[in-house]
């Protein structure tokens, strides 16, 4: 089956590439936090257990950004991207990169609007050093 011939399959595949790119950004932050000596996070699973609400909020907001930008004929970004995306693999790479970039953008913008939704764990206040 040729995915290019079926618009719905084409869009579903690119949406999956977008989600893969977005997941890579979140997983990278979880890995960095689990390896850091500045917090008490020992594993990626523990990071997700503590940060699942802000990560979910950011993922939903990034998804909305994707829905607004991808294949929106009114935005000039779509027309300019088409010049560089000549084939199927280029579209796949663009969707994955857009997923990663939208996660990073939402991380920076949402933390300004709603403190506490960042990927990094904030310092724990009032912890006495022994």
Domain that holds residue 60: 3-113
Within a domain: 109 = yes
Q: Which residue has the higher pLDDT, 39 or 124?
A: 39
Within a domain: 69 = yes
Rounded to two decimals, what is the model's pTM?
Answer: 0.71
Output the average pLDDT for the chain.
Answer: 75
The predicted structure's pLDDT at residue 54: 80
**What are the pLDDT digits (tens) for 111-123?**
777 776 665 555 5
Within a domain: 126 = no
Average pLDDT of the residues in 75-90: 69
Phi-psi region of 3 (alpha: psi -120 to 50; beta: other; left: phi over 0): alpha
pLDDT at residue 109 above 80? no
Of the candidates 58, 52, 128, the one whose C-alpha atom is nearest the C-alpha of residue 100 is 58
R_g (Cα) of the chain, nearest Å: 18
By the 8 A CB rule, do 84 and 90 touch?
Answer: yes
Tally of structural domains, the chain: 1
């Amino acid at each position: 089956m040729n995915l290019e011939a079926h618009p719905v399959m084409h869009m579903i595949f690119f949406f999956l590439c977008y989600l893969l790119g977005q997941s890579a950004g979140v997983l990278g932050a979880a890995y960095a936090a689990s390896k850091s000596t500045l917090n008490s996070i020992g594993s990626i699973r523990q990071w997700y257990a503590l940060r699942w609400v802000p990560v979910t909020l950011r993922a939903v907001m990034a998804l909305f950004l994707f829905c607004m930008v991808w294949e929106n004929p009114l935005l000039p970004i779509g027309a300019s991207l088409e010049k560089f995306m000549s084939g199927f693999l280029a579209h796949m790479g663009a969707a994955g990169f857009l997923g990663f970039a939208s996660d990073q953008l939402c991380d920076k913008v949402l933390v300004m609007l709603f403190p506490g939704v960042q990927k990094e764990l904030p310092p724990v206040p009032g912890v006495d050093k022994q």
